Structure 1
Amino acid sequence: MSERQTKLTASHWGVGLATIEGGRVVSVAGHPADPAASEINANIPGSLHGRARVRRPAVRKSWLAGRPGAVPRGQDSFVEVSWERALDLIAAELTRVRAAHGNRGIFAGSYGWSSAGRFHHAQSQLKRFLNTIGGFVRSEGNYSYNAALGLMPHIVGPYRSHVAQATRWPVIAKHADLVVMFGGMALRNTQVSDGGVSRHRMAGNLAACVENGVSFVNISPLRSDAAEVLRAEWMPARPGSDTALMLGLAHTLLREGLHDPAFLARYTVGFDRIEAYLTGAADGVAKDADWAEAQTGVAAERIRALARRMAAGRTMISVAAGVQRTDYGEQPMWMAVTLAAMLGQIGLPGGGYTVGYGVNANIGNIERPFRWGTISQGVNPVTDFIPVAMISEMLLNPGGSYRYQGETRTFPEARLVWWAGGNPFHHHQDLNRLHRAFQTPDTVIVNEVNWTATARHADIVLPVAAAQERTDFGAGKSDNALVPMPRLVAPVGEARVEYDIYADLAARLGVAEDFTEGKTADGWLHEIWELTRSRGREKGFDLPDWESFLAGDVIALDDPSPDQVFLAGYRADLEAHPLPTPSGRIEIFSETIAGFDLPDCKGHPAWFPPRDLAAGQGAAYPLALLSGQPKTRLHSQLDNGAYSLSHKVAGREPVLIHPEDAQARGIAEGAVVELYNARGRCLAGARVTDEVHPGCVFLWTGAWWDPDFAAPQARDRHGNPNVLTHDLRTSSLTQSPAAHSARVEVRRFEGTPPPVEAHDPPAFDAAP
């Protein structure tokens, strides 16, 4: 009988206690010190040892035969090869592309969450390697809150810094009267945090707010976007109409004299421009509550009542990240800042605004006390980049031009694409278009643990060790704890640690010393841990040596700023603490943005109707498609794990549909349904529920894309919403993803549904 062991592991969704038996991880439970441990840990064993594991290096058959276009990527079989041959092929292809096209011909997407470990971080490892051979074209920004990254520096300051400075929830519990949540505050999102989370604090902090008498309003088409403990008033507005609702609120504040002219005069610039827009002096259309009702579906008197309530007490305005992933997604954030400025509560405890509460487990709950050690990525000699959500445009339109932050830029020609630690065939929009775009490069290389759709679109697939198959330490980007991550089991099949893979490639290319600096993976781990210890000592923390740490438990450090209030210093003394904007103040009107003269982003917040509705697609596709992070996994990670699979309906991702919409279409609970529009179609399992507003359907993100290329529009059999979303951006200012603006229709699937094949490996053939 094999010995059972229990060891720590860490993931973006928390610390786990893994049970190992017979060389396999048989279960992973939450850490006992975590008050709300995530059940996502239960996915690890099934995904780690499942059928979908990439076990040997594999090469696409047509590419290996020298006929890469004979069978499209994503539809071809694979040939398993030795590591020696795989690395030789990659080294030769890198040499060819660099000689013929320069390093600007290499695009390293490498976007995704990958592993929570500080050293074995997929993006860092790949980028370090490519930088040693001359660099690569990169992407800039992220899919989660890219519009905030691009807009907020113009009007308030750098978004990443401001998220870290967000007012803490215990402060809100003590001082606030009301929290108005545009896009809700979904607890399922707060299971995760980039780099890891040691203790899930959000549920407890929200409960403390309610106990202290704080009221909540949930402005979202999904009632469950607010946890039951909040007892939130539900105010469902039409998807994509948040800016219009905010304008109606602002007009009421202005008309009834409930705004704060003194705050606006001292701390902001440009209010006169938005005032003219609100009253209609600028364009002849007053943005009053009656106008807002026509755009949002929320009764005008409810809008007026909410505005009065917001002005009557201390109010925190919260804008979820999903709200800015819509057409013109910059506008609700800009308008939220404007609305908070009109209330005059920015910089006061429990008042003001925050964009991003609820986007992860830690915002407003905790922060790291100092910067953890990590491996250097080196310097990228290639300065070119693309906005993160423009992959398809780059691949389909090399040499084409586009607008970004007031500049006219040109797409590079990507001849070699290398992806590690992510799954664009989950998170990118319009997957059928992405499939076409991925046919254009000469070569696609993918490092993967499992046979995802992205791996199936590769020419060379490298099997890499999972987080539980290597030694590391966890430390979240916004967490206050350090977590030992000892290796639990040996890598499955011939999977290898990525650092060792790159070291072998670097040796083939004559840059081994540049990449490794003479150190093994263990050597680097010791070095970055010593760097972490050194930084800790500067802040008064005495951390153990590496061996003692690795054999121990989670180390929790003090919260560096438990009572912080966002922009308190600015409010107290704006001369001493000016904002990093052109005026040094909050820019309700931005001369910079106005100077760009963009058709889709004015110099002040404004209303633009969603594109699909403006194009008249509401009649053919009457339902608004909503999508969001599920509670069963992180995006698409571990979709083949037991916990994720247990929540499928008829083996497919569940779609929420209101009883009225279901009855009108003859759809019953548990039925297989087809969602469709002009871009694509997918199958899903119906959940009939009144938690979603009529006229909307909600399909969780992350089901591995499973196209049936013989079916119309390569119908997805599994339920990935990105076969339905458009691949347009929020605006030409930030070029951010706008996936939450799709329209669809839904019908019962007639006949026998096809089997889901997403979690099976591809077909393998002998070498050609």
Structure 2
Amino acid sequence: MSTEQWVPTTAHWGAYQATSDGDGGVRVRPHPDDPAPSPLLGNVPGIARHDTRVLRPAVRRGWLLGGPGPSAQRGRDEFVEVDWDTALDLVAAQLDRVRNESGNEAIYGGSYGWSSAGRFHHAQSQLHRFLNTIGGYTASRNNYSFGTSQVLLPHVVGSAAAVLGYADSWATVREHADLIVAFGGLPTKNLSVSPGGVSRHTSAAAAADPGVAVASISPLADDVPAGGRWYSIEPGTDVAMQLALAHVLLTEDLHDTEFLSRCCTGFDVFAAYLLGSSDGVPKTPEWAAEICGIAAADIRELARRMPTGRTLVTVTWSLQRTRGGEQPVWAGIALAAMLGQIGLPGGGFGHGYGSMAEVGADGPVLHLPTLPQGSNPVSSFIPVARIADMLLDPGAEFDYNGQRLTYPDIRLVHWAGGNPFHHHQDLTRLRRAFARPETVVVHETHWTATARHADVVLPATTTLEREDLGAGRRDTHLTAMHRVLDPVGEARDDYAILAGLAERLGVRQRFTEGRGARGWLEHLYEKWRAPLVQQGHDLPDFDIFWRLGEVKLPAMPEDPPLVRFRRDPERERLHTPSGRIELFSETVDSFGYEDCPGHPVWLPQERRAPLHLIANQPPTRLHGQGDVGAVSRDSKVAGREPITLHPDDAAARGITDGTVVRVFNDRGACLAGARLSDRVRPGVAVLPTGAWFDPQPDPRRPGQDLCAHGNPNVLTEDIGSSRLSQGCAGQRTHVDVEPATEPLPEVAVRTPPPLRRG
């Protein structure tokens, strides 16, 4: 390919153009119409041919010699490189053996997928389609990003999509809102990213200066947009402040009784709780101030301001990724309901502004080209964040959304397109869990910790090495993702890998339907295009689309569900038992969960170490993707992930800027590089997620490991947000920090594990 032939593609951090540099590398430039290109684009050139690429199929030596079985050597053993036929024969044989001996329930189709923004080469969809052709698999439900809300929202407003899928655009908010009350702030660093890509970063451009008064309630000043007011709150106490704001609205008769009567149910129960009638504790601003660290006068002033104009109450996804994560979401809805503005443009309740680019985007709510996965005959599943529980304790019972379920006995894990050693909690425990299955198969582009903990590693191509269709939710364009580079080493795309397995298991035709990858792209595009053309939309055929490089998605005017509901709550009933917004849910209350009762409540939590640690999303990469790229590498301190401390907390511990520190609690420890800033609340430390997990012997704890690179999930607790949702609770934990002492272990994840040729 000519070095001057720039072609279109897209990624989770946005559409861009790329070209080969003629030496096997790549050059990139932003989409010419993008008003706020993502800085993450700078990671792309260094990734494709990084030393950590998986170049050939590889089998863990102990598994290859001793056969399948539980093994604590996963993550410690060397690998033997083999040819593709050998690798596929081994994997197919184990899939066949496990399903015949134990049933398909014993296969876990992990694949929590962020591997590609493409609609066809979406590893999770590919793997699930394949496993369904051979009889199914144990599945996961919900996600790590907002899995708690996915379970709660149907009980409160009838569906998760009513809130998550129909957020007002930033343009609408700027036009109509007078005030945004943002619990968790509005961290614009996250607005680079969407699962299917962002054609134009309009949300990032608008959110950086929303043109509306903002009350940003967060322990981090960087979560406050330009011109906003920072309410520096104690982490994990947002619910107390929300309840106090609601108490002021109630006791000063500032609430909208007509809306509450017409559109809600259960307000009487919630009001009794606010007043203290039900528990003896009035939720006054003075009560909240002792908990959250915001002055009572400031809480009262904000509460009185909120009903004077159009107010948007929004809660970031981060606040529901904690113990009791249902509560700030439910309390935020209750607060917005008391203002009576739910369903009005620019007002009401928002969830996820500042969490991802799609929230506040102005594209249509539109079905996109999607690879059909078929149906899964296996009924067993887990909430996605309960994987370690499942692997460690098969047969144990657990609660989930009113059900009492049992963990299946997993003998084979097949993972493609995800990295649980990035997004899961208590990684020491996860390592023990990954030691239990008989076989772990991983498709990976690089030698991540997940690949290093596998038995069979199948090298996958990156986005740059294949063709696809790209578009994100609420995006404005569909992108033709052209191939830029030849596959590195012997890498194959997931479709080719799974087609090879399907052939060995006698289901190739069913899996492929006789199409190659390009044939599927044309098929999916034309199947998506046909009904839109019938509706009168002008969309080019596949060949023209591919030549143009993108197509603008047609506008699909539609009133969001909560707008229709507000207009006519009797005819547009919500899918709740009452048909209304449920500020008290008899259904949830009937479950008897002490960690999620039938209405929003304050659930105090024990502080188990001196510092609050916030494990937020990094500004320099997407999760763990791009950690070997230039932008991420340049952010490191002494080669390790930076941890931000308040200068007072650092001084009390003898820590200066640039010091390598040991971050620890009763679960584990990691090394990080100190950065000092008064833009974090005292008593708070910030260590972003995504540094590639690098377990090394801990000099302070003989016989135990620490992460030499700075992955905070060695510190976070592996526990569900509640018995209702069992969502991820990894956003916050408690730690202490001290200067690290020599000798310090070297960071080892920038080179492959020990490899030998078979």
TM-score, normalised with respect to structure 2: 0.97
Q: Tell me the distance in 2 between the aligned counterparts of 1:728 and 1:71.
A: 23
CA distance in 1, matches of 2:208, 2:158: 31
For the pair 1:702 / 2:690, whether they are aligned, the reply is yes
Contact 1:372–1:535, Cα closer than 8 Å, also in 2? no
SS at match of 1:484: strand
2:280 counterpart of 1:284: yes
2:677 paired with 1:671? no
The question of 1:459 aligning with 2:455 is answered yes
Distance 1:74 1:757, change over 3 A: same
C-alpha contact (below 8 Å) 2:135/2:376 kept by paired residues: yes
Secondary structure (helix, strand or coil) at the match of 1:705 reads: coil
Deviation at 1:766, TM superposition (A): 5.3
How far apart, CA to CA, are the structure 1 residues paired with 2:258 and 2:384?
Answer: 40
Partner of 1:636: 624
Residue 24 of structure 1 aligns to a residue in which SS?
coil
Structure 2 CA distance for partners of 1:105 and 1:306, relative to 1, 3 Å? same
Q: Which moved more, 1:677-686 or 1:523-532?
A: 523-532
Contact 1:163–1:356 (CA under 8 A) maintained in structure 2: yes
The residue number in structure 2 matching 1:414 is 410
- 1:719 paired to 2:710: yes
587-596 vs 522-531, which moves further? 522-531
Moved more, 593-602 or 422-431: 593-602
Query: Residue 743 of structure 1: which of 734, 737, 743 is its match?
Result: 734
Aligned to 1:732: 723
* Contact 2:108–2:413 under 8 Å retained in 1: yes
Identity of aligned residues (%): 51
1:126 equivalent in alignment to 2:117: no
Cα deviation digits, residues 711-762 of structure 1 (max 9, x gap): 5341101111111000111110000111123100001112243221112100
Is 2:709–2:747's contact at 8 Å kept on the other side of the alignment?
Answer: yes
Correspondence for 1:374: 370
What one-letter code is carried by the residue in structure 1 that aligns with 2:653? R
In 1, the alpha carbon distance for the partners of 2:210 and 2:466 equals 41
Report the equivalent of 2:677: 689
Does 2:351 match 1:351? no
Does 298-307 or 393-402 show the bigger shift? 298-307
Q: Secondary structure at the match of 1:48?
A: coil
C-alpha contact (below 8 Å) 1:62/1:71 kept by paired residues: no
Structure 2 match to 1:11: 11
Secondary structure at 2:745 match in 1: coil
Any gaps of 5 or more consecutive residues in structure 1?
none
* Cα RMSD, aligned residues only: 1.6
Q: CA deviation at 1:607?
A: 0.8
> Tell me, what secondary structure is at the counterpart of 2:35?
coil
Distance 2:584 2:31 in 1: 48
Distance verdict in 2 for CA 1:438–1:586, change over 3 Å = same
Structure 1: which amino acid aligns with 2:220? L
Corresponding position of 2:64: 64
**TM-score normalised over the length of structure 1:** 0.96
Given that residues 72 and 432 in structure 2 are in contact (C-alpha distance below 8 angstroms), is that contact kept between their aligned partners in structure 1? no
Q: Which residue of 2 aligns with 1:46?
A: 46
Q: Secondary structure, in 3 states, of the residue corresponding to 1:98?
A: helix
Q: Which amino acid aligns with 2:587?
A: T
The aligned residue for residue 648 of structure 1 is: 636
SS in 2 for 1:581: coil
- Corresponding residue for 1:443? 439
1:180 counterpart residue number: 181
Question: Is 2:117–2:470's contact at 8 Å kept on the other side of the alignment?
Answer: yes
Contact 1:173–1:208, Cα closer than 8 Å, also in 2: no
Contact 1:244/1:295 (CA < 8 Å) preserved in 2? yes
State yes or no: 1:99 paired with 2:100. yes
What secondary structure is seen at the aligned counterpart in 2 of 1:306?
helix
Find the aligned partners of 1:651 and 1:517 in 2 and give their Cα distance: 48
Q: Give 1:15's aligned amino acid.
A: A
Moved more, 424-433 or 195-204: 195-204
Encode CA deviations 1:113-135: one digit per residue, 9 max, x unaligned: 11111111101111111111000
The CA deviation at 1:559 is 4.1
- Tell whether the 8 Å contact from 2:365 to 2:473 is kept in structure 1 after alignment: no
- Cα deviation, 1:377-434, whole Å, max 9, x if unaligned, reads 1111101100010000000000000011111100001100011111000000111100
* 1:558 CA drift (Å): 4.4
Higher alpha-carbon deviation: 626-635 or 132-141:
626-635
Task: Check whether the contact 1:167–1:566 (CA below 8 A) recurs between aligned residues.
Answer: no
Aligned in 2, Cα 1:654/1:538: closer, same or farther, shift over 3 Å? farther
Aligned-partner residue type, residue 574 of structure 1: P
Q: Distance in 2 between matches of 1:201 and 1:392?
A: 39
| Distance in 2 of aligned mates of 1:69 and 1:394 | 15
CA distance in 2, matches of 1:441, 1:305: 56
Deviation (angstroms), 1:478: 2.5
**2:119, 2:471 within 8 Å by CA — same for their partners in 1?**
yes
Match of 1:318? 314
Q: Give the corresponding residue for 1:298.
A: 294
- 1:167 and 2:168 aligned: yes
Structure 1 residues 710 and 352, CA gap change in structure 2 (3 angstroms): closer
Structure 1 partner of 2:387: 391
| CA displacement at 1:369 relative to structure 2 | 5.2
1:73 and 1:659 map into 2 onto residues whose CA distance is: 40
Structure 2: segments with no counterpart, 5+ residues: none
Q: How does 1:754-765 map to 2 (within 5 A)?
A: 754-765=745-756
Question: Per the alignment, in what secondary structure is the counterpart of residue 737 of structure 1?
Answer: coil
Q: Distance in 1 between matches of 2:598 and 2:165?
A: 27
**Secondary structure at the residue paired with 2:569?**
coil
User: 1:394·1:411 contact (CA, 8 Å) conserved in 2?
Assistant: yes
Q: For 1:558 and 1:524, how far apart are their aligned partners in 2?
A: 22
Q: Deviations over 1:429-488 (max 9, x none)?
A: 111100011000000000000000000000000001111101112121321201111111
What is the distance in 2 between the residues matched to 1:524 and 1:112?
Answer: 20
Distance apart, 1:296 and its partner CA: 0.7
Q: Distance in 2 between matches of 1:372 and 1:350?
A: 26
How many Å apart are 1:69 and its aligned residue? Answer: 5.5
Q: Distance in 1 between matches of 2:642 and 2:477?
A: 35
Task: Report the equivalent of 2:595.
Answer: 600
AA paired with 1:283?
D
Structure 2 contact 36–202 (Cα < 8 Å) conserved: yes
- Change over 3 Å in CA distance of 1:218–1:566 after alignment to 2: farther
Within 5 A, what are the aligned runs for 1:330-345? Answer: 330-345=326-341
Question: Which string of whole-angstrom CA distances, capped at 9 and with x for unpartnered residues, describes residues 77-118 of structure 1?
Answer: 100001010011011101110111000000011002111111
Amino acid at match of 2:119: R
Take 2:233 and 2:710, find their aligned partners in 1: how far apart are those partners? 25
> What's 2:75 paired with?
74
Instruction: State the match for 2:33 in structure 1.
Output: 33
Q: Structure 2 CA distance, aligned partners of 1:368 and 1:511?
A: 37
Matched residue, 2:481? 485
Are the aligned partners of 1:17 and 1:28 in contact in 2 as well (CA < 8 Å)? yes
Distance change (3 Å), C-alpha of 1:194 and 1:766: closer
Separation (CA, whole Å) in 1 of partners of 2:732 and 2:87: 42
Shift of residue 539, structure 1, vs aligned partner: 4.2
1:235 aligns with 2:226: no
* Residues 208, 704 of structure 1: alpha-carbon distance in 2 compared, 3 angstrom cutoff: closer
* Cα deviation 1:268-319 (Å, max 9, x = unaligned): 1111111111111101111111111111111111111111111222111010
> Shift in Å at residue 710 of structure 1?
5.7
Q: Is the 8 A contact 2:42 2:630 kept in 1?
A: yes
Q: How far apart in 2 are the matches of 1:3 and 1:641?
A: 21
Deviation at 1:238, TM superposition (A): 1.0
> In structure 2, how many angstroms separate the alpha carbons of the residues matched to 1:160 and 1:455?
34
Of 488, 494, 504, the residue aligned with 2:490 is 494
